[in-house]
Amino acid sequence: METVVSGIRPTGQLHLGNYFGAVKNFLRMQKEYNCYFFIADYHSLTTHPTPSDLHSNVRQVLAEYLAAGLDPELATLYVQSDLPEVAELTLLLNMNAYLGELERTTSFKDKARQQPENVNAGLLTYPVLMAADILIHHAAKVPVGKDQEQNLEMTRKFAGRFNRMYNTEYFPIPQPFNYGEQLVKIPGLDGSGKMGKSEGNGLYLADDAKTITKKVMKAVTDAGPTTPNSEMPESVRNLFTLLDVVSTADTVQHFKDKYNTCDIRYGDLKKQLAEDIIAFNAPIRERILDISSNDDYLSKVVKMGKEKAHESAAKTMKEVREILGFRSF
Ligand code: TYM
């Protein structure tokens, strides 16, 4: 059975971008593949979180993974820092990752722009850590959103380079995966770009009805179409993209028709969108509240995941050390 690996940074609550870009596929894949889903707490250190927040953020993502439907009996759910083998593999892969290619990565350039006071080496080697996450379990498939495409391309490059350098076919070359469809990019409500934690434009799975309504009603739009069948501006297209993922096809068509005949009232579109997001969130939100108060369950899940993930990671590290030429005395 093919192996799947994916992770999410614990930098707050999960938003609809995380859900529709990644978690939705996790839910289906856990039934069909050998899955490892983790919480990328090492990665989150690149933005220097406050130590007193780190654990609660990890705990929150874990509770939300479970509330969204990840099943620890089907998939291995673990915390990245519970697997120090990942740090060792990163060190080894770093020896064959080159400054030029790391500096050219879009995510590095973006982050360096966003936090010029903290352009640390961890940001530079972020794609190497990500490659270690994926290769440590020999993943063939990686379910991610569109924003991770380039990082995954780096993993493919590092895996191929390792195989060539050591004349082996040890690492499979992993594929980004979304059930035969394009990788997803869920937009925010601010008119352009993707939904993101650092963008501050997120709709969160844990948001209550009032919060969602307030955010959606404030979403950026334009003055409305004046010629039939005109092209939508990005801000309006974004609302339709969101509607597409939470509403029925009939609802989407209804508002598209209204747009095309210039009869659309954005207030109505937003009201419907808010209602459908609230309905989508409600059961997940309830489970988040329930699961996050259950310490025993959370610690049982993490312990189980750690053991299973460790087994796979320790085997890989033993083999990688041998391939590199390390021998014991
Ligand atoms: P992160 O934590 O930013 O996001 C987690 C997952 O959510 C997806 N995602 C989106 N998808 C569509 N539209 C959006 N607006 C959107 N925002 C986020 C991301 O594509 C991702 O799948 N580096 C990764 C975490 C990571 C990882 C890995 C992923 C570390 N190691 C190994 C896969 C495999 C990250 O920062 O994702």
* Residues 291-302 pLDDT 10s: 999 999 999 999
Are 213 and 203 contacting, i.e. CB atoms less than 8 angstroms apart? no
**39: β partners:** 8, 79
Distance 146 CA to ligand 1 centre (A): 9
Residue with tokens 């780096």: 154
Would you tell me how many other CB atoms lie within 10 Å of the CB of residue 253? Answer: 11
CA 47 from chain centre, in angstroms, equals: 16
User: How confident is the model over 20-46, as a mean pLDDT?
Assistant: 98
User: How confident is the model over 303-326, as a mean pLDDT?
Assistant: 98
SS3 letters across the chain: CCEEEEEECCCCCCEHHHHHHHHHHHHHHCCCCEEEEEECHHHHHHHCCCHHHHHHHHHHHHHHHHHHCCCCCCCEEEEHHHCHHHHHHHHHHHCCCCHHHHHCCHHHHHHHHHCHHHCCHHHHCHHHHHHHHHHCCCCCEECCCHHHHHHHHHHHHHHHHHHHHCCCCCCCCCEECCCCCCCCCCECCCCCCECCCCCCCCCECCCCHHHHHHHHHCCCCCCCCCCCCCCCCHHHHHHHHHHHHHCCHHHHHHHHHHHHCCCCCHHHHHHHHHHHHHHHHHHHHHHHHHHCCCHHHHHHHHHHHHHHHHHHHHHHHHHHHHHHCCCCC
d(CA 231, CA 244): 17
Distance 8 CA to ligand 1 centre (A): 5
Nearest CA to ligand 1 atom 26: 7
Q: Is the CB of 196 under 6 A from ligand 1?
A: yes
Name the pLDDT band for 180 (thresholds 50, 70, 90): confident
Q: Which of 255, 327, 328, 323 minimizes the C-alpha distance to 96?
A: 323
The vertex-167 CA angle with 166 and 173, nearest 5°, equals 90
Q: Is the CB of 43 under 6 A from ligand 1?
A: yes
Residue 199: per-residue pLDDT? 78
Residue 4: per-residue pLDDT? 98
Residue 198, pLDDT > 80, answer: no
Residue 192, pLDDT > 90, answer: no
d(CA 294, CA 277): 26
Nearest CA to ligand 1 atom 4: 8
Are 74 and 31 contacting, i.e. CB atoms less than 8 angstroms apart? yes
Atom of ligand 1 nearest to the CA of 11: 2
Distance 322 CA to ligand 1 centre (A): 32
Atom of ligand 1 nearest to the CA of 40: 30
Residue 139: per-residue pLDDT? 98
Residue 126: per-residue pLDDT? 97
What are the extents of the domains in the chain?
Answer: 3-183+295-324, 209-289
User: How confident is the model over 160-178, as a mean pLDDT?
Assistant: 98
Nearest CA to ligand 1 atom 34: 6
Q: Is the CB of 202 under 6 A from ligand 1?
A: no
Percent of the chain at pLDDT exceeding 90: 95
* Residues 60-94 pLDDT 10s: 999 999 999 999 999 999 999 999 999 999 999 99
* CATH (residue range 3-183+295-324): 3.40.50.620
Distance 52 CA to ligand 1 centre (A): 23
Atom of ligand 1 nearest to the CA of 130: 31
Residue 188, pLDDT > 80, answer: yes
Between 126-135 and 84-94, two packed helices, what is the crossing angle to 10 degrees?
120
The vertex-256 CA angle with 250 and 257, nearest 5°, equals 90
Distance 297 CA to ligand 1 centre (A): 25
Q: Which of 38, 61, 22, 64 minimizes the C-alpha distance to 245?
A: 22
* Residues 200-252 pLDDT 10s: 789 999 999 999 999 999 999 999 999 999 999 999 999 999 999 999 999 99
Residues 6+ apart with CB under 8 A from 28: 179
Distance 148 CA to ligand 1 centre (A): 6
Q: Is the CB of 6 under 6 A from ligand 1?
A: yes
Q: Which of 14, 23, 148, 190 to mutate to test the pocket of ligand 1 (most atoms within 8 A of CB)?
A: 148
Residue 49, pLDDT > 90, answer: no
pTM (two decimals): 0.96
CA 134 from chain centre, in angstroms, equals: 13
Q: Which amino acid is at 25?
A: N
Q: Which of 147, 181, 205, 242 to mutate to test the pocket of ligand 1 (most atoms within 8 A of CB)?
A: 147
Q: Is 190 exposed, middle or buried (0-12, 13-18, 19+ CB in 10 A)?
A: middle
CATH number assigned to the domain with residue range 209-289, chosen from the 4 options 3.40.50.1860, 1.50.40.10, 3.30.590.10, 1.10.240.10: 1.10.240.10
Q: Which of 3, 6, 8 to mutate to test the pocket of ligand 1 (most atoms within 8 A of CB)?
A: 8
Mean pLDDT score across all residues of the chain: 96
Residue 28, pLDDT > 90, answer: yes
| Residues catalogued as catalytic | 111, 194, 197
Would you tell me how many other CB atoms lie within 10 Å of the CB of residue 83? Answer: 25
Residue 200: per-residue pLDDT? 78
Measured CA to CA in angstroms, residue 49 lies from 44, 300, 327 at distances of 7, 26, 38
What is the gyration radius of the CA atoms in the chain, in angstroms? 21
